[in-house]
Amino acid sequence: MKLSLRLRPIAFIGVLLLAWQIAVSLHPGHLLPTPLEVLRGIGDLLQHGLLLKYIVASLFRVTWGFALAALLAIPLGLLIGWYSRAEMAFNPLLQILRPISPLAWIPIAILWFGVGDLAAVFLIFLCCFFPLLLTSIQAVRSVPAVYIHAGRNFGLSPAAMIGRVLYPAVMPQLIIGLRITLGIAWLVVVAAEMIAVNSGLGFLIVDARNAGSRYDLVVAGMIMIGVIGWLLDLGMRSLERVRSLRWGYAED
């Protein structure tokens, strides 16, 4: 029973792939490659060593942009959230910067950093920075007053207050924020690579189309993006199962 439940989504995908294969072979044209062609495309990429290279290139940019944003946005957000006056000062600016799509920054990124990794990392950084900043401001502000009071009551120094009360209290929300942000970063890296660099999965898609209308490679790139995005999310989700964090998610 349990196994068959687990197999159900795989079987479903299998049926869809089969339907795709049949549908395309019934109407041969150039609207979509067949799953087999895509598989062959992935094989091609593997053979030329491009697949791994492009995946690593994309992950590299996401890692740097995401890590830099987290390193800056989280402490800053905690600080702003803690001092309500700082929040009042920052809030209007944040509310205006936040709705600007990271893609709107592409021309400026290229102007500042040229065409290359740095521009892409900068775009990832931007798209992670604002959501993370807002999440951490919100996280501090929603720490129940009883925890703060209890910390003060037991005579905690300000540093101990941050380390032993504030930080553990905001962790669950921060992790949700990090998870969502990593998802955004993965969306944006593809767009950034289509314009600013000549490697990575986003570049693969644009290049495959421009260089020879290799739609098998376009679809292969899309599938790799999907699979890796899913794996990244699974990785972040596994953090939510840490025992000392679980209180922030479980409803029962």
Partner 1 sequence: MSSSIKEGAISPSPETKLVVEHVSMIFARDGKSVPVLADIDLDVRRGEFLCIVGPSGCGKSTLLNLMGGFLPPTSGAIRIDGEIVRGPDPRRIFVFQERGVFPWLTVEGNIGFGLFKLSREERERRIAHYIQMVGLKGFEQAYPSELSGGMKQRLEVARALAVDPDVLFLDEPFGALDSITRLTMRGELLRIWETEGNTIIFVTHDIDEAVQLADRVAVMSSRPGRIQQIVDIDIPHPRDISSPRYLELRAGIYDQIGLAHRI
Applying CB under 8 A, which residues contact partner 1? 144, 146-147, 149-150, 152-155, 160, 164-165, 168-169, 171, 243-248, 250
Separation CA 252–CA 245 (nearest Å): 14
Task: Using the minimum distance from each CB to partner 1, give the nearer residue, 90 or 147.
Answer: 147
Q: Which is nearer to partner 1, 3 or 250 (CB)?
A: 250
The least distance separating partner 1 from the CB of residue 183, rounded to whole angstroms, comes to 25
The Cα-based distances of 98 to 17, 81, 133 in angstroms read: 39, 17, 10
Q: How far is the CB of 157 from partner 1 (least distance, A)?
A: 10
Q: How far is the CB of 77 from partner 1 (least distance, A)?
A: 19
Instruction: Compute the least distance from the CB of residue 242 to partner 1, in Å.
Output: 10
CB nearer to partner 1: pick between 30 and 85: 85
CB of 158 to partner 1, least distance (A): 13
Q: Which is nearer to partner 1, 183 or 248 (CB)?
A: 248
> What sign results for the dihedral spanned by CA atoms 196, 197, 200, 203?
positive
Q: Where are the alpha helices (DSSP H) in 142-240?
A: 145-153, 158-161, 167-196, 201-212, 215-239
Cβ atoms of 97 and 130 within 8 Å: the answer is: yes
CB proximity list for 33: less than 8 A, separation 6 or greater? 24, 41, 215, 216, 219
Q: Is the Cβ of residue 18 or residue 150 nearer to partner 1 in the bound state?
A: 150
**239 C-beta neighbours (distance < 10 Å), count:** 15
Q: Minimal distance in Å, beta carbon 150 to partner 1?
A: 5
Answer whether 218's CB lies under 8 Å from 208's CB: yes
Nearer to partner 1, 3 or 146 (CB): 146
